[in-house]
Structure 1
Amino acid sequence: MSVVKDNRDRVHRVLVLTLGLNLVVLSIKLVVGYITGSLSLLADALHSITDSANNVLGLVTNHLATPQPDREHPYGHQKFDAIGALGIAAFLGMACFEIFTSAVERILTPGGKEVQVSPSELWLLLVVLGINIFVAFYERKVGQRLGSSILVADAKHTMSDVWVTILVIAGLIAVWQGRVWHLPQLQWLDVVLAFPVALLVFKSGYEVIGENLPWLVDRMAVAPEAIHAVAMSVPGIINCHDIASRGVVGRQVFIEMHVIVDAPDVATAHKITEEVEARLEARFAPVRVLIHIEPPEYKSDRLTYDAASGQET
């Protein structure tokens, strides 16, 4: 059985740093949004609130998600990490709903406060954009290196914030120029751009769910044919069947199988199965493998479970 590295201390440091930067971003967006009266910018600030909430959520789940097993959790605690990522998706869904409803309300009740923006406020938003880009790429790079789904999911969320901020800045530049060119119609860009903001937020949440739900529902991690090929490549393996796997490759994989070995004694059989484990580890690490050794009369061509027929295949 391979040992999964516990990188929670490093993940913790990244989350604390990004939390501080996200609070700076949030403060600037709220102040500038209030001063200018921009709906799209206030909606973007709402999106940034979820960034900070996600960091706090990540700190909590990162504390709980130790990969090391204990008596009550013999398979480790890493699903807390995936639960935290799904919490991020829930925040994204709430932000999407709030943005959409605010935009609809502005359309149905026209004649509200006019958006007024100055070049200095636009420069502040460019600083915000730079911070968001740094946070997104930094979190993604570290998350991929450490195998942390909470960092990767949060980076995806922050990247959606980058695109949102770009849209908002573009709209506010148009509104600013509209006042210069005496084109009040450009005021509507602030409302119109709120809708693609909502769609981008929804897309990010959907992707986070797609990446973490398989881990929580124990979906197959590795095709049984691939596991079978690795096992049968080991000298001494006569038959391999009833293969099952769960987890996520690169994070943690659990594999079970039944094998028949050509061995005169238990010690030799054990060496053969250790070689199977070593080759699976080299291919799909980190992995925990459970191998059931069976007598020759148990030989079977049933590779794995077939949900459609309710039989092994």
Structure 2
Amino acid sequence: MGQPHNHTHSYHTSDTKLTISIFLNVGITVAQIIGGLLSGSLSLLSDALHNFSDVISLIISLIANRLARKKSTTNKTFGYKRAEIIAAFINAATLLIVAVLLIKEAVVRFLEPQQVASGLVIGLSAIAIVFNGLSVLLLKKDSNNNMNLKSAYLHLLTDMLASVAVLFGGLLMQYYHWFWVDPLLTLLIALYLIYVGFDLLKESTNVLMLFTPESIVVDDIVACITTIEAIKNVHHVHIWQLNDDEVHLEAHLDFNTDIRLSEFDVILNQIEAQLFYEFGINHVNIQPEFGKCDSKNLIVQD
């Protein structure tokens, strides 16, 4: 008995928000590339590179968002529900790649400092803050419950913070001629990208590898199920997260007596309710057993 979920409205709403964010970031990227080349600002060009990665990540998120609501078929029984997790993984990986490229460029600029047209840097970074701020506000609510949208949101949030840093650096260069601030800010932006990107990469990898969600303790689930008097043993347990909304459990139950199928249905309903309300598991597949000779280990090496 799976718990029903209806995300049709939220998916369509997310499509609209992602599309708006894509257009906003295309505009920022083009403006910052031109401005960075004209001003000679590495931090502005690095922000443009990050913005370009935002555009790619938003497009990936939009595609995944649309794929996720395609219906299941006989040869795709889960449909494309994992498309969003793959998108989150790709977006997290691009954050780390961009960070490495920025660190490399920052080191080069530290060794060979260059004068920067700070006025242009200030103006363009201010515009980027406004546009990225709008995109962040659009996706903030939806990012709380969706790993795919969270990855897009993090791209935009880090870029907005990067633009704030670039603006601050532009002011320091304008009034104090501290041109070393430009590569320093680039380095700080890159380190922050590594910080947020690694966490999301780890989270999406855990889902793709079918690891048990970190919030779930298998021993607690076993203890919960075995409180039911008719059950002797819980073994051969697998728990995995399909996507942001679905957590699956499959297990073998060894019964004390040879119960009837109607009795098992009553117990199964009880187990499903307990697992859903106490652990958030909404898809349960139980194999009942009585006197069967097989491994009774909690985790069986298949």
TM-score (normalised: structure 2): 0.86
Is 1:64 the equivalent of 2:31? no
For 2:259 and 2:208, the matched residues in 1 are separated by: 41
Unaligned runs of 5+ in 1: 179-183
- How far apart are 1:109 and its partner, in Å? 4.0
Give the corresponding residue for 1:126.
Answer: 126
- How far apart are 1:93 and its partner, in Å? 2.7
Worse-superposed segment, 35-44 or 86-95: 86-95
Q: Deviations over 1:28-73 (max 9, x none)?
A: 3234323322111111111000001111111222222238543122
Preserved CA contact (<8 Å) 2:139 2:149: yes
Matched letter for residue 257 of structure 1: A
Give the corresponding residue for 2:223.
Answer: 229
CA distance change for structure 1 residues 132 and 233 in 2, over 3 Å: closer, same or farther? farther
Give the corresponding residue for 1:141.
Answer: 141
Match of 1:243 among 237, 241, 263: 237
Match of 1:259 among 245, 249, 253: 253
Secondary structure class of the residue paired with 2:162: helix
- How far apart are 1:247 and its partner, in Å? 1.0
Q: Deviations over 1:190-211 (max 9, x none)?
A: 1222211221222222122011
1:144-163 to 2 correspondences below 5 Å: 144=144, 147-163=145-161
Matched letter for residue 23 of structure 2: G
Equivalent pairs, count: 296
Matched letter for residue 133 of structure 1: G
Secondary structure class of the residue paired with 2:118: coil
1:170-209 to 2 correspondences below 5 Å: 170-178=168-176, 184=177, 186-209=178-201
Secondary structure class of the residue paired with 2:179: helix
CA distance change for structure 1 residues 228 and 42 in 2, over 3 Å: closer, same or farther? same
TM-score (normalised: structure 1): 0.84
- How far apart are 1:296 and its partner, in Å? 4.7
- How far apart are 1:219 and its partner, in Å? 0.5
Matched letter for residue 162 of structure 2: V
Give the corresponding residue for 1:181.
Answer: none
Give the corresponding residue for 1:43.
Answer: 46
CA distance change for structure 1 residues 16 and 270 in 2, over 3 Å: closer, same or farther? same
Secondary structure class of the residue paired with 1:94: helix
Unaligned runs of 5+ in 2: none
Percent of matched pairs sharing the same residue: 22
Preserved CA contact (<8 Å) 2:96 2:193: yes
- How far apart are 1:242 and its partner, in Å? 2.4
For 1:92 and 1:265, the matched residues in 2 are separated by: 55
For 1:264 and 1:217, the matched residues in 2 are separated by: 36
For 1:150 and 1:105, the matched residues in 2 are separated by: 34
- How far apart are 1:87 and its partner, in Å? 1.2
Preserved CA contact (<8 Å) 2:247 2:280: yes
For 1:69 and 1:225, the matched residues in 2 are separated by: 33
CA distance change for structure 1 residues 283 and 91 in 2, over 3 Å: closer, same or farther? same
Preserved CA contact (<8 Å) 1:240 1:257: yes
CA distance change for structure 1 residues 267 and 19 in 2, over 3 Å: closer, same or farther? same
Matched letter for residue 279 of structure 2: F
**What is the Cα-based RMSD across aligned positions, in Å?**
2.7
Secondary structure class of the residue paired with 2:211: coil
Is 1:75 the equivalent of 2:78? yes
- How far apart are 1:169 and its partner, in Å? 1.3
Preserved CA contact (<8 Å) 2:118 2:174: yes
Give the corresponding residue for 1:277.
Answer: 272
Preserved CA contact (<8 Å) 1:95 1:198: yes
Secondary structure class of the residue paired with 1:115: coil
CA distance change for structure 1 residues 101 and 264 in 2, over 3 Å: closer, same or farther? closer
For 1:301 and 1:98, the matched residues in 2 are separated by: 51
- How far apart are 1:10 and its partner, in Å? 2.7
For 1:133 and 1:126, the matched residues in 2 are separated by: 11
Matched letter for residue 126 of structure 1: A
For 1:195 and 1:239, the matched residues in 2 are separated by: 55
Secondary structure class of the residue paired with 1:187: coil
- How far apart are 1:240 and its partner, in Å? 2.3
Worse-superposed segment, 76-85 or 134-143: 134-143
